[in-house]
Amino acid sequence: MYILTLLAGLLLFISPAAAEDFDSIAAIVNDEAITCSEVEQDSKALLLQLRQSGSTFLPPMAELGQRSLDSRIIKRLQQQKAHTLALTISDEELDSAIKNIASSNHLLLDQLKEALKQQGMDYQQYRDNLREQMLSNKLINIAVRSKIKVSEEAIQEYYRKYLAIPKPRREVQIAEIFLSLPDEPTPEQLTKVRTKALSIHQQLLDGKDFSQMVAIYSEAPDRQAKGVMGWFMQGGIAQRFTAVLEMDIGKISDPIRSPSGFHIIKAVAERWKAPQQSGNSYDEIHARHILLKLPSFADNASKAKIRQRAESLAHDLQHTSDEQFASRAKEESQGPSAKVGGDLGWFKKGAMVPAFESAAFALKPGATSAVVESPFGYHIIYLVARRHIDPNSLEANRDQIQQILSNIETQEQLPRWIASLRATATIDKRSCHTAIAPTPALPMSIDDSDSAIEKRTNNALQTTLNSWKTAWEKQDIALYLSHYSTHFEPGKAFTDVAAWRKARNKRIHSRHNIHITLTDINVTRLDLSHARVEFTQHFQAGKIHSEDLKLFLMTKEGDQWKITREMAAVPAQ
């Protein structure tokens, strides 16, 4: 049932924050406070999710805290903007969305609630988070998407290039290594991330395995699927990535800068998508209407008066012009299209209720109907124009093209809009001295400062790493294996840990005069009992020599640090 949380986009940060009598402040956003406990709660939830998913990328606590704070700030800015625009999500809208989520998962509402309960989610909290996400989407639609104007030239160009002459189109499956940037990176931060991206790119060119580098470095959600982003074809991706879709399979792009970070993309596979089968041609009409609503509480006398008013309007508007009808619609119509002169745009059969549709399609261009009754009330319809549509024509594909181009531009504009919110806000960031508590908590020594803990952890991990290296060199298999946790995950190449241990024993004893050097050691403390260690391993045994990037995920078990996961760009020697 994991898909339920994905559909709602609400897996993270769903636990309520713990109450504190005196909570320190992490930031003040336009006079509204974000507390340290909120940031710590979010950091814990994110770290827990990463661990449960088996992620090999576990950022340090400071980075988790910064990500959580930035996320809270953006969320608070959006909430404030939505309040300014008087945007809300009604209970009816929320109930409808939840029904759709349940239906798409082939569940009844009670089954959805039970599925959430099994995942440890409170249904009311789920509703609150979904309402918040829907409000954010509504705000983005109004503030960003609604302001995007897809030009007629762009629509025609897309049609000319991809649809005018139906033919098979190449689709490319792409994977990425993504390195994120802060919302407003300093020159130093930008240089650091760019340098790291260039280093990773060079290692890939030198033969490092892409999926392993994804597991070690990528910061995108798709890292759990070896970085695979999906299938794309020309015209359906942002302009900066279009060259990727021309690459040969197996090729890797240079680092590509986007508003959110750097992307290194690999063309994984290709397929050719046949053009859609042509459907039948059909007629469309362009109409306006004036709607006089019938209140549900109206009695027969009230209905008669409204009907009489509608018939009077229909009589007055016979033989009128399009401009005159539009002007009266703005004055008289009670429907949502009144502000645009009752304009309903182009539509084909099946788009309107039967009574309205039958009357509209029976009109000739320039004609006004008699009164038409529907469940919404009384209508007077004016037919602007009629046309016959070829299913392969530009007009038949216009809405689809406009949606594709609008989606691409929305993704381009969204980071800029968020940046503008931050730029016009007053944001006062402060320091939180709390840390993510380990599970379980471990006793501390006399010096409990964060710097002292960091130093002790680094020293302990360095000692463990050197002991592991020495045991390998001496071919002391018992000591070597003792550095691995009983919860060690050997990877898909082995049926279980026992099979992995047997293979390592055989491999180590098959070498002679083993010498190992470890360089570029980078220790990242995730919390008091979890750490991430990266290093370059130089292996030599007789004439055999190799150099490889390695990653250990390590857990403190009692007083000892143990390896729980090991990743390498090539198999271990």
Least Cα distance to 79 among 6, 92, 71 occurs for: 71
Looking up residue 65, the CATH number of its domain turns out to be: 1.10.4030.10
pLDDT digits (tens, 9 = 90+) for 284-300: 999 999 999 988 788 88
349-379 pLDDT per residue, tens: 988 999 999 999 999 999 999 999 998 899 9
Distance CA 380, CA 360 (A): 10
Among positive and negative, which fits the CA dihedral 294, 299, 304, 306? negative
| Better-predicted residue by pLDDT, 399 or 86 | 86
HSE at residue 226, side-chain half, CA atoms within 13 A, is: 10
Place of tokens 């299209």: 337
The Cα 550–Cα 212 span in angstroms is: 10
- pLDDT number for residue 442: 36
> Is residue 567 scored above 90 in pLDDT?
no
Are residues 138 and 186 located together in one domain of the fold? Answer: no
Q: Containing domain of residue 532, as a range? A: 450-568
Same domain as 192, residue 295 = no
426-446 residues labelled b (16+ CB within 10 A) or e (exposed): eeeeeebeebbeeeeeeeeee
- The phi, psi pair for 538, rounded to 5°, reads -105, 115
| E-only strand ranges, 245-371 | 256-258, 261-273, 282-293, 343-348
Model pLDDT, residue 415: 74
Which residue(s) pair with 275 in the sheet? Answer: none
Asked if the structure places residue 299 within a domain, the reply is: yes
Based on the fold, state whether residues 206 and 288 are members of the same structural domain: no
* Tokens encoding 189: 């931060």
395 within a domain of the structure (yes/no):
no
Residue 434 pLDDT > 50, yes or no?
no
Percent helix, percent strand, percent coil in the chain, to nearest 5: 45, 25, 30
Q: Tell me if the pTM is above 0.75.
A: no
Residue type, 134: M
Identify whether residues 9 and 126 lie together within a single domain.
yes
Residue 444 has pLDDT above 50, yes or no: no
Strands 169-180 and 228-232, sheet pairing = antiparallel
Q: Are 22 and 142 contained in the same domain?
A: yes
- pLDDT, residue 443, reads 40
Amino acid found at 573: Q
Please check whether residue 22 lies inside any domain of the structure: yes
Check whether residue 27 and residue 110 sit in a common domain: yes
Residues 184 and 248 in one domain: yes
| 16: Cβ contacts below 8 Å, ≥ 6 apart | 41, 122, 125
Average pLDDT over residues 271-275: 82
**Model confidence over 118-168: pLDDT tens digits?**
777 788 988 998 998 899 889 998 998 888 888 999 899 888 888 888 788
Lowest mean pLDDT among 8-22, 279-293, 522-536: 8-22
Report residue 449's pLDDT band, with 50, 70 and 90 as the boundaries: low
Site of tokens 């290692």: 203
Predicted confidence at residue 122, as pLDDT, reads: 84
Question: What integer pLDDT is reported at residue 24 of this predicted model?
Answer: 86
User: What confidence tier does 397 reach under pLDDT thresholds 50, 70, 90?
Assistant: confident
Q: What are phi and psi of 214, to 5 degrees?
A: -60, -50
Whether 158 is in a domain gets the answer: no
Identify the residue whose tokens are 């968020």.
418
Which two structure tokens, joined as six digits, stand for 378? 């009384």
Mean of the per-residue pLDDT values for the chain? 83
Does some domain include residue 404? no
Tokens of 43: 């950091």
Is the pLDDT at 282 greater than 80, yes or no? Answer: yes
| Same domain, yes or no: 254 and 295 | no
**pLDDT (0 to 100) of residue 277:** 59
> Which residue, of 273, 297, 328, is where some domain finishes?
273
Return phi, psi of residue 361, to 5°: -70, -15
The length of the chain is 573
- The Cβ-side half-sphere exposure at 357, using a 13 Å CA radius, reads 11
42 within 8 A of 68, measured Cβ to Cβ: yes
Q: Does the residue 527 lie in any domain?
A: yes
Q: Which residue has the tokens 């009311």?
A: 124
| pLDDT tens sequence across 221-265 | 555 567 888 888 888 888 888 899 999 999 999 999 988 889 999
**pLDDT the model gives residue 19:** 38
Token look-up 């991206």 returns 197
Are 266 and 305 contained in the same domain?
A: no
Cα–Cα nearest to 343, from 353, 335, 352, 354: 335
How confident is the model at residue 224, as a pLDDT? 57
CATH code at position 531: 3.10.450.50
Q: What is the pLDDT of residues 94-116, one digit of tens each?
A: 998 999 888 888 888 888 888 88
Least confident span in 64-68, 127-131, 554-558: 64-68
- What Rg value do the Cα atoms of the chain yield, rounded? 31
Question: Residue 340 half-sphere exposure, CB side, CA atoms within 13 Å?
Answer: 7
- Of 389, 406, 437, the one marking the end of a domain is 389
**453: CB partners within 8 A, 6+ apart:** 444, 525, 528
Q: Quick one: three-class SS letters along 448-476? A: CCHHHHHHHHHHHHHHHHHHHHHHHHCCC
Domains of the chain: total? 4
What is the CATH classification number for the domain harbouring 207? 3.10.50.40
Question: What are the residue ranges of helices labelled H in 285-353?
Answer: 300-316, 322-332
Q: Is residue 406 part of a domain?
A: no
Residues 287 and 364 in one domain: yes
CA 255/CA 243 separation, integer angstroms: 12
Tell me the backbone φ, ψ of residue 420, rounded to 5 degrees. -70, -35
Q: State how far the Cα of 134 lies from the Cα of 93, in Å rounded to an integer.
A: 9
pLDDT given at position 49: 62
- For the stretch 220-224, contacts whose Cβ atoms lie closer than 8 Å and that sit 24 or more positions apart, written own/partner, are 220/176, 220/178, 222/175, 222/176, 222/178, 223/55, 223/57, 223/178, 224/53, 224/54, 224/55
Distance separating alpha carbons of residues 53 and 296, to the nearest angstrom:
53
Q: Kindly state whether residue 495 falls inside one of the protein's structural domains.
A: yes
Full DSSP string of 57-120: ----HHHHHHHHHHHHHHHHHHHHHHHHTT----HHHHHHHHHHHHHHTT--HHHHHHHHHHTT
Res 433: pLDDT: 58
300 and 216 part of one domain: no
Does 20 lie in the same domain as 135? yes
What is the percentage of the chain residues whose pLDDT exceeds 90?
35
Whether the predicted pLDDT of 16 surpasses 70: no
The number of beta carbons lying within 10 Å of the beta carbon of residue 94 is 16
Q: Alpha-carbon torsion 77, 83, 84, 87, what sign?
A: positive
Looking at 113, 147, 181, which one is the last position of a domain? 147
Nearest alpha carbon to residue 176 among 127, 142, 211: 211
